[in-house]
């Protein structure tokens, strides 16, 4: 049985490049260098890594990190069973053992004592010590580690140590430029190009408010949600309110200014 079966990507995840990130990722992959993706929520980080895993023919083992996560959740643990105990590889170990891309999403959420388990895997050693099991795993030649986080939410308590950061190549992601974002919207939802452009202008109005009462602007993900609703028959202004404005803030002033943008752009 293929231990990475569940993580194989069989259909191409559609990805609209923003620049030369596909070629750069391929170069990092060729050298098996660990990669860090940074950027705001809903800007295409996960989609990019899914697309790259598919393109490179590697399974993608994704882990959503959180502060309760322990090293054992990544590496593995002994399970108690009627006949005794049985070791079960964690997701990081599975990818390292069998040659997958391991994607640690929102890695800054994990505690630092959890994150350090990746250190020996992400330098020249490419090893994962499984202390409890008494095994020193040498990573499969096709193993690669990718991590992502949103620098916007970063706080002093939640940050990566320099010794962790300085193992990675990094890609700075942001929302795509207008023409590319329109191409994403059209491809993902089927909305007409002029309407896509208008929705994106509303998103730009919100993105300009980031830091002025808004933690994050309207993401590409929310634009896609609005386009999806429009394709199901919802009027564009209503779709923009429901998918783009109401989720992001409860602040009356910000809502009002975005409401103006909708009135001006989507009638």
Ligand X SMILES: Nc1ncnc2c1ncn2[C@@H]1O[C@H](COP(=O)(O)OP(=O)(O)OP(=O)(O)O)[C@@H](O)[C@H]1O
Best CA proximity match to 91, nearest among 56, 116, 65, 126: 65
Print the binding letters for residues 69-108 with ligand X: x by CB under 6 A, - otherwise.
Answer: ----------------------------------------
CB of 163 to ligand X, least distance (A): 24
Print the binding letters for residues 40-69 with ligand X: x by CB under 6 A, - otherwise.
Answer: -xxxxxxx----------------------
CB of 41 to Mg ion, least distance (A): 8
CB of 58 to ligand X, least distance (A): 18
The residue among 7 and 195 lying less far from Mg ion, judged by its C-beta, is 7
Rounded to whole angstroms, how far apart are CA atoms 63 and 211?
Answer: 30
Run of H or E including 80: strand 76-81
Rounded to whole angstroms, how far apart are CA atoms 40 and 202?
Answer: 17
Rounded to whole angstroms, how far apart are CA atoms 137 and 126?
Answer: 9
In this structure, what token pair is assigned to residue 38? 């940074």
Using DSSP, state whether 126 is helix, strand or coil.
coil
| Residues between 11 and 50 with contacts to Mg ion, criterion CB under 5 A | 46
Is residue 15 near ligand X by the rule CB under 6 A?
Answer: yes
Answer with the entry of Mg ion, ligand X, none that 220 interacts with (C-beta below 5 to 8 A by kind). ligand X
User: Which residue's CB comes closest to ligand X?
Assistant: 44
| Residues between 74 and 113 with contacts to Mg ion, criterion CB under 5 A | none
CB of 37 to Mg ion, least distance (A): 9
In this structure, what token pair is assigned to residue 155? 């706080």
Alpha carbon distances (Å) from 80 to 77, 134, 253: 10, 18, 56
Cα-flanking dihedrals φ and ψ of residue 196, to 5°? -55, -45
| Residues between 184 and 223 with contacts to ligand X, criterion CB under 6 A | 184, 188, 220-221
Print the binding letters for residues 144-173 with ligand X: x by CB under 6 A, - otherwise.
Answer: ------x-----------------------
Q: How many residues bind Mg ion (CB under 5 A)?
A: 1
Q: How many other C-beta atoms lie within 10 A of the C-beta of residue 130?
A: 20
The residue among 120 and 242 lying less far from ligand X, judged by its C-beta, is 242
| Residues between 218 and 237 with contacts to ligand X, criterion CB under 6 A | 220-221, 224
The number of residues in the chain equals 267
CB of 70 to ligand X, least distance (A): 22
- 166 CA to centre of own chain: 20
Cα-flanking dihedrals φ and ψ of residue 265, to 5°? -105, -25
DSSP count for the chain of H helices, then E strands: 11, 9
Residues that bind Mg ion (CB under 5 A): 46
Residues that bind ligand X (CB under 6 A): 14-16, 39, 41-47, 150, 176, 184, 188, 220-221, 224
């Amino acid at each position: 049985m293929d231990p990475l079966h569940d993580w194989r990507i069989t259909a191409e995840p559609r990805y609209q490049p923003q620049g030369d990130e596909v070629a750069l990722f391929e170069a990092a992959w060729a050298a098996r260098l660990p990669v860090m993706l940074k950027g705001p929520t809903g800007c295409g980080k996960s989609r990019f890594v899914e697309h790259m895993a598919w393109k490179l023919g590697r399974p993608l083992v994704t882990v959503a990190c959180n502060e309760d996560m322990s090293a054992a959740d990544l590496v593995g643990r002994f399970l108690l069973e009627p006949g005794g105990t049985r070791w079960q590889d964690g997701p990081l170990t599975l990818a390292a053992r069998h040659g997958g891309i391991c994607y640690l999403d929102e890695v800054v959420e994990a505690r630092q004592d959890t994150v350090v388990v990746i250190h020996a895997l992400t330098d020249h050693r490419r090893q994962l010590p499984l202390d409890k099991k008494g095994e020193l795993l040498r990573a499969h030649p096709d193993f690669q580690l990718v991590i992502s986080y949103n620098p916007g939410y970063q706080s002093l308590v939640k940050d990566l140590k320099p010794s962790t950061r300085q193992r990675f190549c990094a890609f700075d992601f942001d929302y795509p430029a207008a023409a590319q974002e329109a191409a994403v919207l059209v491809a993902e939802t089927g909305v007409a190009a002029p309407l896509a452009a208008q929705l994106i202008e509303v998103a730009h109005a919100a993105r300009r408010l980031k830091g002025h009462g808004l933690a994050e602007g309207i993401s590409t993900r929310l634009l896609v949600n609005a386009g999806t609703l429009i394709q199901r028959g919802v009027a564009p202004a209503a779709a923009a309110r429901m998918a783009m404005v109401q989720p992001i803030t409860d602040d009356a002033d910000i809502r009002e200014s975005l409401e103006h943008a909708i009135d001006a752009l989507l009638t």
